[in-house]
Amino acid sequence: MDETALVIFTPSGKRGRVPVGTTVLEAARKLGVDLDSVCGGRGICSKCQVSPGTGSFPKHNVTVAEDALSPWNAVEARYDEKRGLPEGRRLGCQARVQSDVVLDVPPESQVHKQVVRKRAEAREIVMSPAVRLYYVEVEEPDMHEPSGDLERLAAALAEQWSLPGATAGLTVMHGLQPILRKGEWKVTCAVFQSSEGAAPRILKVWPGFHDGPLLGLAVDLGSTTIAGHLCDLASGAVVASSGIMNPQIRFGEDLMSRVSYSMMNAGGADEMTRAVREGMNRLIAELTAEVGAVPRDILDAVLVCNPVMHHLFLGIDPYELGQAPFALATSAAMTLRAPEVSLDLHPEASVYLLPCIAGHVGADAAAVTLSEAPEKSRDLVLVVDVGTNAEIQLGDAAGGVMACSSPTGPAFEGAQISSGQRAAPGAIERVEIDPATKEPRYKVIGSDLWSNEDGFDLAIATTGVTGICGSGIIEMVAEMRMAGILDASGLIGSAEQTGTDRCFPDGRTHSYRVRDADDLGREIVVTNKDIREIQMAKAALYSGARLLMDKRGVDTVDRIVLAGAFGAHISPKHAMILGMIPDCPLDKVSSAGNAAGTGARIALLNREARAEIEATVRDIRKIETAIEPRFQEHFVNASAIPNAVDAFPNLEAIVTLPDVSFNTGGDGEGGRRRRRRG
Amino acid sequence: MDETALVIFTPSGKRGRVPVGTTVLEAARKLGVDLDSVCGGRGICSKCQVSPGTGSFPKHNVTVAEDALSPWNAVEARYDEKRGLPEGRRLGCQARVQSDVVLDVPPESQVHKQVVRKRAEAREIVMSPAVRLYYVEVEEPDMHEPSGDLERLAAALAEQWSLPGATAGLTVMHGLQPILRKGEWKVTCAVFQSSEGAAPRILKVWPGFHDGPLLGLAVDLGSTTIAGHLCDLASGAVVASSGIMNPQIRFGEDLMSRVSYSMMNAGGADEMTRAVREGMNRLIAELTAEVGAVPRDILDAVLVCNPVMHHLFLGIDPYELGQAPFALATSAAMTLRAPEVSLDLHPEASVYLLPCIAGHVGADAAAVTLSEAPEKSRDLVLVVDVGTNAEIQLGDAAGGVMACSSPTGPAFEGAQISSGQRAAPGAIERVEIDPATKEPRYKVIGSDLWSNEDGFDLAIATTGVTGICGSGIIEMVAEMRMAGILDASGLIGSAEQTGTDRCFPDGRTHSYRVRDADDLGREIVVTNKDIREIQMAKAALYSGARLLMDKRGVDTVDRIVLAGAFGAHISPKHAMILGMIPDCPLDKVSSAGNAAGTGARIALLNREARAEIEATVRDIRKIETAIEPRFQEHFVNASAIPNAVDAFPNLEAIVTLPDVSFNTGGDGEGGRRRRRRG
């Protein structure tokens, strides 16, 4: 029998020879295999489970004997009796290598396991949380060598976990002595480390071995909604998600009205700071209650938000963000302690804020960058986060990333639209207009039936049809354009011009009636002013994207990612017909859902992602649309539907837009409009 | 004319050639001369004043021409007009070197100036505060290169002051934007840096140039008294000093009764924590009010205290300190922010706590070490801090330092003594007893007259003679021993044995009447129980010292330093007659005054001293008297006055103690006691 044996770990494929008698955990550490352990090899935590194989492994050119590992020992037997060890599993810290062996490390035994993300193009999330649990055995105090309990705890972390120089805040100090004694000098510590090798900070100590869930919080603090995800910092799982309205809404629907509020009211900014922090705390209470935990159980948090929310959350007056040159008080990422920002988390918990990109492009945009990783993309990607402000990023790995924001206004959220409303039950969200009859049919939120299908009236009996939400208005306008009810300049035709009496004169222009008044007198109409609002909004969005394309020197992009909860509901085809986004193969337009929230979650689960996004943001080229002369020119061109100048060849291949013009004024040649090619 | 000129700076003697036209400030920096500047050479702060010499300097072998420096310029003229420049002074940042020159840097122009300490043997205090002012010009925001105001301020500190990576807390962020604009992008920052090259932290920002006093606080948090010194962090001057009673006294006079209070009362430790912090805040309010400042003006603080006060101040239950093995929750130095410990300082101010040496030897003892620097002493020094617990240190540069504490009890503070009292007007503090007549005379606090001098009765008319304070009782007992009223074993003789009817039977022993009852019936008497209390206290103190001498392998020390406010009032001769301290030439016994407070002040004024004392404390050998078998033996021997065993040759050379014995029991040979020589 050899003095050493070959050990092969799967799925990593790492292999090497170790002395016979080495534990699997020791072998894994020696070979750099990612095998978890909280108890440090004492047979308590069972995090180091492996599945040994037996028989022939031609791929690895090895045959594994039945007794390749030492027999099941007393520690494993006790663990199995108490908590149950899954079939075929061994504790890596107990099983010793006897001869050549192949060992599979299941995902749950890996520290740096991958969290599953559905979308192929999205970056992987690899678990590498900033807070981890460590079980240690601490030396008892000795009058001959007096030292503090904390110092001996720190020494144990240094020796047993290679975590030298651990410190602890006062809240840890307050309970430390009784906990050490209750645990008979064996304790579990939650330790925060901003990066591998960074100064460790002890956040919390439990007597004995502790294996409770370790909670982290990722928050996307929006102007309208505060959305939070409570995550298990060991598994990466989202254990609870919830959203509440931002209580600041009472100070103003949109950001600029909140900035104005703080300018007009002494103490107004402080009032809004209190409101948003209270809102956050309500959300935290809700999320933790959902899983039977308390806010103090949360040991790490990441927050993303736009610059105005960023400043208001931090207690900084957003005054300067309301006027050129839109100077941020600070743009760098911040790591604060929860009490500094009055958050009801564990008092030693950190709150990490992603960096802001520019005065109008906030930490939420940085989180989108982190989620979508344009700086790693092989093809040129346009990432658009659609909201009151659109944050637009363009880039790839080869050429780097540029970012700008564009003031789209709230039309995409249904505001300033005569029949517009927030996305809520009763709102029209899907629309089709028959090109021949010009008759519309639609779906409302809360029902899967089209309005012309049987049962629709019953399905909407409780809500009624109350208005059109943001994604609905985009489809509506695009469908009107496709059906020839709307011309390229954005004029709605008359009944005569369009051949439907759903078009009716409405002041100096025409409107299109979508739905007749119901019993409550609720009528759904699209006015020409509504069209103008959408034109302004989509032109702003397009011009920002086009400006970045100019800077990059391209006329097309390879793919487009629509971020934001709203982006998830937009129909790419309709958005392109409207000219909201540049021309692109439709199958190359995807939705990233709440990418800002995902970015927050990535930063929560992977500490290296924090330094990474800070570096990426430093490298992003920031474009301020307000001072770019070409922005106005693009904006004017983009007011046409889809565009007065730019070509949409991909769109034209699948959709033919009727060449109508309803301008009865002096636009020459009966209102026919020639399209120039760019 | 040469292209370069010779520049010689005094008093440093640093010299070198610089190109003609170099400013004096630039020359100083180039030659490594310590010349202050807050404004960075802009002619605003006048910190860089120098006194140029003219004529012949044979010592330096140079002759300085009248026009060795460039003529007085407009900036200097304006400064002189506005604020006045002292005769013969030039602004170092304005005056340019034209030819060879000798320049004197006055102390107030040196950053690292020395703070005057009166005592020759004490360590120097060299100014090197952790908080300094820096004037900077900050780049304005630029929409083409968006960055936060803080990031541009940090860049200015990096470029203009070589302070890279400056950060700022939220309270700085809150006011930063308006301050930068009010100062038109010129601001003065108070920056904290724990050491040269450490991460700078911006504590406070003022618009424009700010030259107000920069305040720091050094506190000696004693069990009985909280003493604070408010210091100017630029000059090192103590601008206000004050002391208040520790409000914890209501929970127990001595430390162990406070530990008991926390054990007997739920929430008792928290109550005491609140009390001491409130007391600190009262002291802070008093100190700042005295100089027309407010607590928020204090930007740095250092705190020293014994281990129990240390834990109670931090909010840690001192339970473990009340029992073996006397484990500290933490022994390391701590740097906290003022709000963490609810101190009303500037919210960004640091509070530095010196390290504790052991469970009974606290941060106050470490401060004594810092002040008295036994580890740098060329001769072997015994440092004794006399209080309820005596902290004793013995060491020198060659052999290192040892430390222990010894439970002297409160007798030295006048407690548990029948006529004992705190040091206050009316208390006897000095005593002489005529060896022939056995008549006492004394002085009381509040009067310089001896009790047998004319006018004494008038001088004490308002206070009366109310008792004997700690230093008074030491002199009293020693004088009784010298006058033959007391024998070596600590027995007071009878009237017959002593020849004075001031000695009278008092139960089974005798007492000595110092002063007859006054109109209020107040009589001052020393009982044999009083003597026993003092014997116990002094034996404890001596045994601790003797134990360290054993460990060091010596029978004598070269010098003795008495620290503590009480130590300042002890007569070395009387202390030695009592056998409180080992034998030593009397002129080698000195008082260090409140050395703990001085140590706190050193750590406040010199940031390098913090790392230094942390290292020193690590190196100190800690001796726990409770577990040293020889301690009991020394204690028994030291109960005799001065000692049953140890020799006091220096004392015997100047004082002959009467060889009396008042033991009428079976001690053999009429109570004569043979002294063994050690």
- SS3 per-residue string spanning A630-678: HHHHHHHHHCCCCCCCCCCHHHHHHCCCCCCCCCCCCCCHHHCCCCCCC
CA-CA distance, A443 to A449, in Å (whole number)? 6
CB pairs under 8 A between A and B: 143
- For residues A393 and A561, give the distance between their C-alpha atoms in angstroms, rounded to a whole number: 10
Candidates A524, A519, A481, A521; CA nearest to A502 is A524
- Name, in order, each residue with C-beta under 8 angstroms of A343's C-beta and a sequence gap of 6 or more: A277, A280, A281, A284, A301, A349, A351
Residue A100: closest CA among A65, A150, A59, A60: A65
- DSSP secondary structure string for all residues of B155-174: HHHHHHHS-TT-EE-HHHHH
Q: What tens digit of pLDDT does each residue of B159-215 get?
A: 999 999 999 999 999 999 999 999 999 999 999 999 999 999 999 999 999 988 899
The closest alpha carbon to A481, from A672, A653, A657, A625, belongs to A657
CB A216 within 8 A of CB A605: yes
What does the pLDDT look like over B491-543, one tens digit per residue?
999 999 999 999 999 999 999 999 999 888 899 999 999 999 999 999 999 99
Cβ–Cβ gap A325/B143 under 8 Å: yes
The distance of A118 to chain B (nearest Cα, Å) reads 35
pLDDT digits (tens, 9 = 90+) for A191-210: 999 999 999 999 999 999 99
- CB-based contacts of A592, cutoff 8 Å, min separation 6: A119, A122, A368, A371, A372, A383, A561, A562, A563, A567, A568, A598
Which residues, at least 6 apart from B165, have a Cβ–Cβ distance to it below 8 Å?
Answer: B154, B158, B199, B200
- Return the residue of A nearest to B326 by Cα: A143
Question: To the nearest whole angstrom, how far is the Cα of B214 from the nearest Cα of chain A?
Answer: 25
Q: What is the mean pLDDT of chain B?
A: 92
Nearest to B330 among A173, A624, A626 (CB): A173
Task: Decide if pLDDT at A357 tops 60.
Answer: yes
d(CA B192, CA B206): 15
The whole-number pLDDT of residue B339 equals 95
> Mean pLDDT over residues B263-289, rounded?
94
* Contact call for A340 and B146, based on CB within 8 A: no
Residue bearing tokens 């801090």: B385
Contact B481, B659 (CB under 8 A): no
Alpha-carbon distance values, B378 to B119, B121, B365, B554, B621 (Å): 16, 10, 20, 16, 18
pLDDT over 70, % of chain A:
97
Which pair of tokens denotes residue B635? 């204690």
Q: What is the structure's pLDDT at B254?
A: 78
pLDDT (0 to 100) of residue B115: 83
pLDDT band at B408 (very low <50, low <70, confident <90, very high): confident
Which of A150, A314, A326 shows the shortest C-beta gap to B330? A150
Lowest mean pLDDT among B112-116, B215-219, B457-461: B112-116
Q: What is d(CA A289, CA A295) in angstroms, rounded to the nearest whole number?
A: 8
Residues A286, A242: contact at Cβ < 8 Å? yes
Q: What is the mean pLDDT of residues A460-482?
A: 94
Instruction: Show Cβ contacts of residue A7 under 8 Å, excluding neighbours closer than 6 positions.
Output: A15, A16, A17, A18, A22, A24, A27, A31, A97, A100, A101, A103
Cβ distance B213 to B232 under 8 Å?
yes
Q: Do A144 and B624 touch (CB under 8 A)?
A: yes
* pLDDT beyond 70 at B341: yes
State yes or no: pLDDT of B675 exceeds 50.
Answer: no
Reduced 3-state DSSP string for B580-635: CCCCCCHHHEEEEECHHHHHHHHHHHECHHHHHHHHHHHHCEECCHHHCHHHHHHH
- Report d(CA A312, CA A320) in Å as an integer: 12
Which domains can be identified in chain A, with CATH numbers?
4-109 (3.10.20.30), 130-207 (3.10.20.880), 216-366 (3.30.420.480), 367-409+534-671 (no CATH), 419-526 (no CATH)
Identify the residue with better confidence: A219 or B263: A219
**Which candidate, B476, B625, B422, B472, places its Cα nearest to that of B540?**
B625
- Per-residue confidence (pLDDT) for residue B281, from 0 to 100: 98
**Per the structure block, which two tokens stand in for B677?**
């020589």
- Work out the minimum CA distance from A249 to partner chain B, whole angstroms: 22
Residue A675 has pLDDT above 50, yes or no: no
Mean pLDDT over each residue of chain A, to the nearest integer: 92
Q: Which residues in chain B touch residue A325, judged by CB atoms under 8 angstroms apart?
A: 140-143, 146
A180 three-class SS: helix
> Residues with Cβ < 8 Å from B333, sequence gap 6 or more?
B352, B353, B354, B355, B363, B610, B613, B614
pLDDT digits (tens, 9 = 90+) for A333-353: 999 999 999 999 999 999 999
- Provide, as residue numbers in chain B, all residues whose Cβ is less than 8 Å from the Cβ of A619: none
Contact yes or no for B624 and A151 at CB 8 A: no
Rounded to whole angstroms, the Cα distance separating A506 from A386 reads 31
- Which two structure tokens, joined as six digits, stand for B10? 């005094």
Q: Which chain B positions have a beta carbon within 8 Å of A359's beta carbon?
A: 143, 146
For position A386, what pLDDT does the model report? 85
- Residue A139: closest CA among chain B residues belongs to which residue? B327
The DSSP result for A324-374, as a single string, is: TT---S--S-EEEEGGGGT--S-TT-EEEEPPP-BTTB-HHHHHHHHHH-G
Would you state the pLDDT for residue A2? 56
The yes-or-no verdict on residue A413 having pLDDT over 90 is no
Q: What is the mean pLDDT of residues A535-553?
A: 96
Determine the pLDDT at residue A122.
Answer: 67
**How far apart are the CA of B104 and the nearest CA of chain A, in angstroms?**
43
pLDDT confidence of residue B665: 65
From the list B199, B232, B205, the residue with the least C-alpha distance to B133 is B205
Residue in A closest to B324 by C-alpha: A143
Which among A171, A174, A619 is the top mutation candidate for probing chain B, defined by the most B β-carbons within 10 Å of its own β-carbon? A174
The position carrying tokens 């010129």 is B186
Q: Residue A465 corresponds to which tokens in the numbers above?
A: 């049809």
Task: Write down the pLDDT at residue A260.
Answer: 87
Among B360, B355, B279, which residue's Cα sits nearest to residue B324? B360
For residue A163, is it left (φ>0), alpha (ψ between -120 and 50) or beta? Answer: beta
* ipTM of the complex as predicted: 0.89
Plot region of A340 (φ>0 → left; ψ -120 to 50 → alpha; else → beta): alpha
Strand, helix or coil for residue A107: helix
Residue range A119-135: average pLDDT? 85
Q: Which single residue is written with the structure tokens 């010894």? A: B406
Would the pLDDT of B30 be above 80?
Answer: yes
∠ CA A247-A423-A308, nearest 5°, is: 40
In angstroms, the CA A52 to CA B35 distance is 71
Kindly state the average pLDDT of the residues A156-174: 96
For residue A367, what are its two tokens? 């989180």
Residue type present at position B119 = R
**pLDDT higher than threshold 70 for residue B668:** no
Q: Å from B144 to nearest chain A CA?
A: 7
